[in-house]
Structure 1
Amino acid sequence: MIEGSRIRLKTWQQAAVAMGSAVGALLDPRRADLIAALGETTGKPAFEKVLQRMKSCPEGRAVLLERPRVVSANVGHAWDLPENTFGAAYARFMGSRNFSPDDRPPVRFMDTDELAYVTMRAREVHDFWHTLFDLPTNLIGETALKVIEFEQMGLPMCLLSVVGGTARFSGKQRKLFYQHYFPWAIRAGMQCTDLMCVYYERHFHEDLEDVRRKLQIVPAPVVP
């Protein structure tokens, strides 16, 4: 991410990459590299605001100073924590889906190391948020989380993902989303703390429900 080479783009090049990434991501939402490129080329002002908020928060400053990475070598101990802990819940989330924390695409289009790290951090804490909000990784769950991410970070990519996600809903999914998940996501994203300022790894050993209360997180509704 920081060790690799980043690409400096002119304004027109950023626009071209953003447009191409947006079209490609809409055609194939599984292309994480295109979604990442879209987020970077359209999200610099939003990431700059996140960076300033992190600098003004003690826990956020600790994250920026130590730059923890959510990779297997650093979070593997979560699999050995007691069942009730946040870390164990994260491990269950990842293990049940055969996800690896090492699969995030690198940051390529940010100007500074600080912005590159904040961008990568936003990418890497995504699964922490899934765990804390108790959201599945299906289309409805991912779209609901993008609503929360938009409220938390203001990234245009998140808004575009919500539009693209809802466009792929079936009639039943659309009704379910707008009746239950969308209003919950709006409230949940506004109510919780500034999630980019949280040093999640320091809370792995804590009880999951205690972490939720501390961060003022309301889990997703249980829909019959």
Structure 2
Amino acid sequence: MTTQYHDQTLSEAALGQLFNDARTYNDWLDKPVSDAQLHAIWDLLKMAPTSANMQPARIVWVKSDEQKAKLAECAMEGNQDKIKAAPVTAVIGYDIDFHEELPWLFPHTDAKSWFEGDEEGRKEGAFRNSSLQGAYLMLAARAIGLDCGAMSGFDADKVNEAFFGDTPRHRVNFICSVGYGDPESVFERSPRPDFEKFNSIV
């Protein structure tokens, strides 16, 4: 049977929620995000592909006022109020030693041996694949009706010390606030390029 891809396209409403109408929020409505919603985000993002199912992302969900203030101290001035106002900010990190988990995550073969003795290769793979997982986190959050505000304006060393101090083989990649965005806080949408600008089909 030939697959009819157009029959599997999401509705315009769903595409809007995930992509076309979704925005980066800079302020948040005073509406909480539950632990159950955070679990729901994880249960979606963990299903997305990573190389050899390595699953290198290590996420700290910063929710208490005390921990939000600690994270804000690690961020540039323009991001501090965003972090404090958000109901939750995810610190998306990665485990340099992700390969230790591969015997059960990828049991089809001895994938752990592919990465032993190559720390620089593991760092590259962990960073790339945790970036993918962070993007899937944003899609998952949008899919369950939440909004996102990703940020990279922070001191990585300070974040690592504050949130991964007990696990020094974990390093921060980026952070992303999650909640119900205040529509008044979004900027006018910046230009998006047409296909021909940055793509080629060969």
Tell me whether the two structures share a fold, i.e. TM-score over 0.5: no
- Greater C-alpha radius of gyration: 2
Q: Which is strand-richer, 1 or 2?
A: 2
Higher relative contact order (CA 8 A, sep 6+): 2
Provide the TM-score with structure 2 as the length reference. Answer: 0.27
Q: Which is helix-richer, 1 or 2?
A: 1
Provide the TM-score with structure 1 as the length reference. Answer: 0.25
